[in-house]
Every structure is written in structure tokens, then in C-alpha cells.
């Protein structure tokens, strides 16, 4: 774009000084967008389907996207959930899974009949609102992708109903096939009918975990044990009684020590009692035969999409941890971004009654419609979260302290990048760099400074924890908890490592399909061969390095000066 300034001289003449065209500017280079909708809904679970049905039929275009069925290759990267290599052969048959999905969620057919544009097998990898950093974008845009293609869609209002995932927990052997999130197991069993599991041990005992485990009972999975590090289970007593009645042992005051097995999968676990400090009591170790370990330590609201878009987030214990801040109308800090369902908060009664999530979806749809000029009556009001029965931050800290910090073989907390707890706490750069602290005192200074103000994003950059294919879904909360332990701070006082788009894996083939205008392509190699961080090569008088660059650098093609 042209840059410069104007001023008026004492004689009344207007003078233009030093106006140049900046080829690095993005002005006038917005990508062409050929797809649009009035209301975009992300997620076809109870909340998303309720929102779609409420928004349909009012003269506005409504688009509902859901990433299920997820490509098998993406599931293998533990996205969007921790599937743990327990996908049965049926997961590879897309037509079969699609039919199973439609059978499991009959409201999808209702949405189609109501005129909703339903797109299954389509992931949203980014939301790009028009903000100071993206002022060149015309309106709000979403990045979408299916198995083979990626494209942009312009929207006016978006309702995110992305659900939840499970907190990871590093222990010896947790990299083996068969260690998975309990929500992922329930998804595979109920929506895909493709869970390869017969005997499972549940780690954790909150209501969300127990509800998913009971759902697995209905699919023929036997829950042989429930392991809880606290003195007593924390979840719904009715659900717990049902699991116990079906043969589950309840081991309180104990943690998982190791997942036994080989490269082909889990064959059992070792459970061990812990003392008041979380240290394992080795003499109490017992083995339990199983083929699957279900991680149910904590249900985590899936906020990566709205967090990357710039919505404000905070730790709210009654909503399950870090969530986007929403008002009673389900609006986030970006007024055209709304949230509903488990991604807006997880609490026990919500996990037991789907109507709470559906009500949030209808409220969000009403808010979106009102913003677009459609005023309809609304009888719903959002249910307040339950008062937490336990300190969820302290409970997560207790699990990580007892299991991960006291592990005998120092497992990788970040499995993708192979980063251990000690490397996270010590801010150790990746071992493949062959880095060793030359001065132990210097290393201690760095660690002490880090402990004074732990920052997961700094940890990510130094250690690569949270930077793998799963994009931190298995380790983000663990890393924050470890940093809190190291600094003597509570979990709620530690920020999480930030998400950036794409929040779903994109191949270069897919990314290359997002259209570009010719002006964008004309300087595509600008950011390669730069002699300094800030000055592009065409302003450097032909000098390839900073050392040889002329001290008086002038733009190559200044416009004539008027005066």
C-alpha cells in the first residue's frame, strides 16, 4: 500500500512527502471467498443440533458442520480426542461410519429436512474475525476442511458447540496402544461402533468419567476396576453403584503405576497405593488384567477454536477449568461468537442431562437470530453450573504429582515431541539438539527465573512440549500443572499454552487449496533470505547480509515529491 504524509505550508500549498508502495503490506490482498452463510454452527452434538433446529426456518442461511466421521489418519494423531489406537476396523469404512453416525444422531436428518446445510466430515480449523490484526479481512471468516480440500467460508454469527476432551496423564507405559481418553472410547463405541476393547480400567471417578463408563457397559465393555487417588470417589453415586454392580473394583487412595504390555497394546496395569504426599507405597502394588486404560481424570472443555480466535478465557472451577467467558445469552467476548454445550463448561448435572446442553444451543441460536434482525420469543434460560464438590485444580495437581513426578522410568509428558517432566520443569531444549548446560549455575538461574513466573508458551518454545501433531491435547493441562507444582502455584493461576490456527491438522495439499489473489503471490518469497528480522530483501540495496548492508538504506522506487 502507499504510505507517507501530507501537510500544508504557510503559503497554503499542500505538500506530499515520501509516499512509497509497500509490497509487504497485506492491504488489497484478501483471499477470494466464494462460500458464505448467515449462521455457522460448529459441532453436531446435542447443543449444536438444538441450535441448528432453532435457527432454521427464519429466512437465514444456516450451516452445520461436524468433523465426524474423522479421517482414520487424523484419529491416529489423537485428534480431536485421545483415541489411543483403539479404533476398530469399522472406523476405516467411511460409508459405514457415516451411516452409524446418522443412526446415532437422528436430529441430523431433522436438520436436513428443516433446510439446514449439513456438512459432515468437515472440520473447522480456524475462525478469523475482523480485528486489528486481521483488519484486511472482509467480515468474519472460518477455515474449513474435509478429507481432501480446504477452503474459507464467510459468516455473520457462529455458534461453537465443540464438546469436550479428556486430560492426559503421563505414567510408565501410557504410550502403549490401549491407553485412551474415556470420552474418546465412548465416541468410538456409540457414534462409530468401532471400539476395539473388552476389559478396561477407568482412571478417575468424576461424574463425567463414570457416565462415559456406564455408556461403555451398554456396548459390551467390561469395566474391571476404577482407580482413584483420592480417599473416595467424587462422581455420581448411582453411576458408581451401577459399575460396581457389573463387577468393577473400586481402588481408592491408589494410582496407576504402569501400563503393562508391548508394542501391540496394553495387557494390564499396575496399581499402587500412595501416601499423604502422593508418594507410591511400593509394597502395595497389584496387577490388574485389562486391554484398555480409560483416562477420566478430568473432562476438559474444547476451547481451542475460540481461544485461537481471540475470545477471552479464564479458569472457572464450576465450569471444569479454562473456558471462554460467556454471558447469559451464550455470547463470548467477541459478540458474534457464541458457545453452547460442553465446550462452554462441564459440570456433573450437565453430563447427566443432555437437555441442559440443548437449552444452551437454543439460547445461542436465539441470540444469533436477534443479532441478524430476527426477533422470536425465547422461553429458555441457561442452567447455572453446579457448585464444585471438590477442588478440581488441587485434584488434578494431586494426580500429576503422584503419577507423573513419581514415575520410575520418567515417561514422556509430551508424547509427540518426547519431552519429560524434568525437561519441562528445567526448560531443557529438545534433546535432539544435543544441548547441555555449559554452566550449571546459569541453568539454575534460568530455572529459578522460570519458577518465579512460569509461562507455558515460553516452555513450549524452549522444550517443544505441546507442539506435536496432537497440538497439545494430551499434554497442555499436564504442562501447566507441572509448572504450577514447580513454582508452588495453583493450577488456576497458571495460563495454558496458547492455541493457534490451524487447530486441526492440515496437509500442505489442503492448505495450498486456499485461494490467493495474484498480488499475494507476487512476493511470496519475501520472508525467505531476509538479512534482518524487519527489513525485506528488496529494501536492502542488494546486500544479502546485515553485515554488508549499506548503512543508508532507501526504498527502491520512491514516488515523486510534490511541493
pLDDT tens digit sequence for 493-507:
998 899 889 999 999
| Mean pLDDT of all residues in 303-332 | 96
Residue 446 pLDDT exceeds 60: no
Q: And the C-alpha cell for 257?
A: 503405576
191: left (phi over 0), alpha (psi -120 to 50) or beta: alpha
Q: What is the pLDDT of residue 521?
A: 72
- In the block, residue with C-alpha cell 476442511: 145
CATH topology of domain 35-67+122-165+301-371: FAD/NAD(P)-binding domain (3.50.50)
φ, ψ for residue 62 (rounded to 5)?
A: -125, 125
Looking at the DSSP bridge assignments, the partners of residue 62 are 39
Report d(CA 70, CA 254) in Å as an integer.
35
Lowest mean pLDDT among 378-392, 478-492, 514-528: 514-528
543: left (phi over 0), alpha (psi -120 to 50) or beta: beta
Instruction: Kindly report, residue by residue over 114-159, the tens digit of the pLDDT.
Output: 999 999 999 999 999 877 666 667 789 999 999 989 999 999 999 9
Q: Alpha carbon of 449 to those of 47, 60, 421, 435: distances in Å?
A: 44, 54, 18, 20
Instruction: Kindly report, residue by residue over 372-409, the tens digit of the pLDDT.
Output: 999 888 888 999 999 999 999 999 999 999 999 999 99
Chain-centroid distance of CA 339 in Å reads 14
- In the block, residue with C-alpha cell 518465579: 452
- Which distant-in-sequence residues (6+ apart) come within 8 Å of 377 by Cβ? none
Residue 289 pLDDT exceeds 50: yes
Helix/strand/coil for 528: coil
Instruction: Kindly report, residue by residue over 56-95, the tens digit of the pLDDT.
Output: 999 999 999 999 999 999 999 999 999 999 999 999 999 9
- Band the pLDDT of 447: cuts 50, 70, 90: very low
Q: What is the pLDDT of residue 549?
A: 41
Q: And the C-alpha cell for 133?
A: 490484526
Residue 295 pLDDT exceeds 80: yes
| Mean pLDDT of all residues in 513-522 | 79
Closest CA relative to residue 483, chosen from 563, 556, 559, 423: 423
Instruction: Kindly report, residue by residue over 228-277, the tens digit of the pLDDT.
Output: 999 999 999 999 999 999 999 999 999 999 999 999 999 999 999 999 99
Mean residue pLDDT of the chain comes to: 88
Report d(CA 379, CA 339) in Å as an integer.
18
Residue 1 pLDDT exceeds 60: no
- Band the pLDDT of 534: cuts 50, 70, 90: low
Residue 165 pLDDT exceeds 80: yes
φ, ψ for residue 130 (rounded to 5)?
A: -75, 105
Alpha helices (H) along 319-472: 348-352, 354-371, 392-403, 421-425, 440-452, 456-463
Pairing mode, strands 39-42 and 157-160 = parallel
Geometric angle at alpha carbon 363, from 362 and 366, rounded to 5°? 85
Report d(CA 130, CA 139) in Å as an integer.
6
Q: What is the pTM of this model?
A: 0.88
Q: What is the pLDDT of residue 519?
A: 76
Residue 32 pLDDT exceeds 90: no
Helix/strand/coil for 323: strand
| 368 burial type by CB count under 10 A (0-12 exposed, 13-18 middle, 19+ buried) | buried
Instruction: Kindly report, residue by residue over 38-59, the tens digit of the pLDDT.
Output: 999 999 999 999 999 999 999 9
Helix/strand/coil for 293: strand
- Band the pLDDT of 28: cuts 50, 70, 90: confident
Q: What is the pLDDT of residue 559?
A: 44
Q: And the C-alpha cell for 25?
A: 503490506
Q: What is the pLDDT of residue 133?
A: 61
Pairing mode, strands 39-42 and 62-66 = parallel
Residue 205 pLDDT exceeds 90: yes
Report d(CA 29, CA 397) in Å as an integer.
47
Q: What is the pLDDT of residue 556?
A: 45
Lowest mean pLDDT among 270-284, 364-378, 503-517: 503-517
The domain spans of the chain are 1-28+516-563, 35-67+122-165+301-371, 390-507
Amino acid at each position: 500500500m502507499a504510505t507517507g504524509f501530507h501537510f500544508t505550508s504557510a503559503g497554503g500549498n499542500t505538500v506530499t512527502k515520501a509516499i512509497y508502495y509497500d509490497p509487504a503490506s497485506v492491504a488489497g490482498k484478501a483471499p477470494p471467498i466464494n462460500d458464505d452463510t448467515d449462521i455457522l454452527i460448529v459441532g453436531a452434538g446435542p447443543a449444536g443440533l438444538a441450535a441448528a433446529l432453532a435457527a432454521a426456518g427464519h429466512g437465514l442461511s444456516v450451516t452445520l458442520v461436524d468433523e465426524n466421521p474423522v479421517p482414520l489418519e487424523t484419529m491416529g494423531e489423537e485428534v480431536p480426542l485421545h483415541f489411543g489406537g483403539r479404533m476398530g476396523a469399522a472406523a476405516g469404512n467411511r460409508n459405514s461410519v457415516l451411516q452409524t453416525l446418522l443412526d446415532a444422531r437422528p436430529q441430523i436428518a431433522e436438520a436436513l429436512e428443516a433446510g439446514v446445510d449439513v456438512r459432515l466430515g468437515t472440520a473447522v480449523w480456524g475462525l478469523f474475525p475482523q480485528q486489528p490484526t486481521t483488519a484486511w479481512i472482509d467480515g468474519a471468516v472460518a477455515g474449513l476442511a474435509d478429507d481432501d480440500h480446504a477452503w474459507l467460508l464467510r459468516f455473520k454469527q457462529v455458534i461453537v458447540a465443540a464438546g469436550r476432551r479428556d486430560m492426559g496423564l503421563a505414567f510408565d507405559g501410557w504410550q502403549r496402544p490401549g491407553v485412551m481418553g474415556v470420552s474418546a472410547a465412548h465416541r468410538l463405541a456409540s457414534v462409530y461402533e468401532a471400539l476395539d476393547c473388552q476389559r478396561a480400567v477407568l482412571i478417575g471417578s468424576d461424574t463425567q468419567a463414570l457416565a462415559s463408563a456406564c455408556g461403555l457397559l451398554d456396548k459390551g465393555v467390561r469395566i474391571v476396576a476404577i482407580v482413584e487417588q483420592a480417599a473416595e470417589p467424587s462422581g455420581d453415586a448411582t453411576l458408581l453403584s451401577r459399575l460396581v454392580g457389573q463387577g468393577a473394583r473400586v481402588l481408592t487412595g491408589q494410582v496407576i503405576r504402569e501400563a503393562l504390555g508391548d508394542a501391540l497394546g496394553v495387557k494390564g496395569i499396575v496399581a499402587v497405593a500412595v501416601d499423604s504426599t502422593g508418594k507410591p507405597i511400593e509394597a502395595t502394588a497389584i496387577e490388574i488384567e485389562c486391554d484398555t486404560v480409560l483416562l477420566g481424570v478430568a473432562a476438559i472443555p474444547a476451547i481451542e477454536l475460540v481461544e485461537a480466535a481471540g475470545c477471552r478465557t479464564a479458569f472457572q472451577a464450576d465450569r471444569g477449568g479454562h473456558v471462554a467467558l460467556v454471558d447469559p445469552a451464550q455470547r463470548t467476548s467477541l459478540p458474534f461468537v457464541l458457545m453452547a454445550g460442553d465446550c462452554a463448561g462441564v459440570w456433573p448435572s450437565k453430563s447427566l442431562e443432555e437437555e441442559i446442553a440443548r437449552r444452551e444451543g437454543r439460547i445461542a441460536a436465539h441470540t444469533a437470530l436477534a443479532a441478524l434482525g430476527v426477533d422470536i420469543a425465547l422461553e429458555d434460560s441457561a442452567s447455572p453450573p453446579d457448585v464444585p464438590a471438590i477442588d478440581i485444580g488441587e485434584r488434578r495437581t494431586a494426580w500429576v504429582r503422584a503419577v507423573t513426578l513419581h514415575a520410575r522410568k520418567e515417561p514422556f509428558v509430551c508424547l509427540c515431541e518426547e519431552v519429560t517432566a524434568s525437561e519441562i520443569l528445567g526448560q531443557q531444549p529438545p534433546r535432539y539438539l544435543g544441548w547441555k548446560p555449559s554452566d550449571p549455575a546459569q541453568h539454575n538461574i534460568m530455572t529459578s527465573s522460570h519458577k518465579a513466573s512460569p509461562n507455558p508458551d515460553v516452555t513450549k518454545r524452549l522444550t517443544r512440549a505441546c507442539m506435536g501433531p496432537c497440538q497439545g491435547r494430551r499434554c497442555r493441562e499436564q504442562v501447566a500443572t507441572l509448572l504450577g507444582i514447580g513454582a508452588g502455584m495453583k493450577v488456576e493461576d497458571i495460563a495454558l499454552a496458547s492455541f493457534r490456527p490451524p487447530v486441526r491438522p492440515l496437509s500442505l495439499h489442503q492448505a495450498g487449496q486456499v485461494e490467493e489473489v495474484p498480488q499475494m503471490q507476487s512476493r511470496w518469497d519475501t520472508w525467505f533470505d531476509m538479512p534482518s528480522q524487519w527489513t525485506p530483501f528488496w529494501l536492502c540495496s542488494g546486500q544479502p547480509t546485515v553485515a554488508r548492508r549499506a548503512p543508508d538504506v532507501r526504498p527502491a522506487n520512491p514516488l515523486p515529491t510534490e511541493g
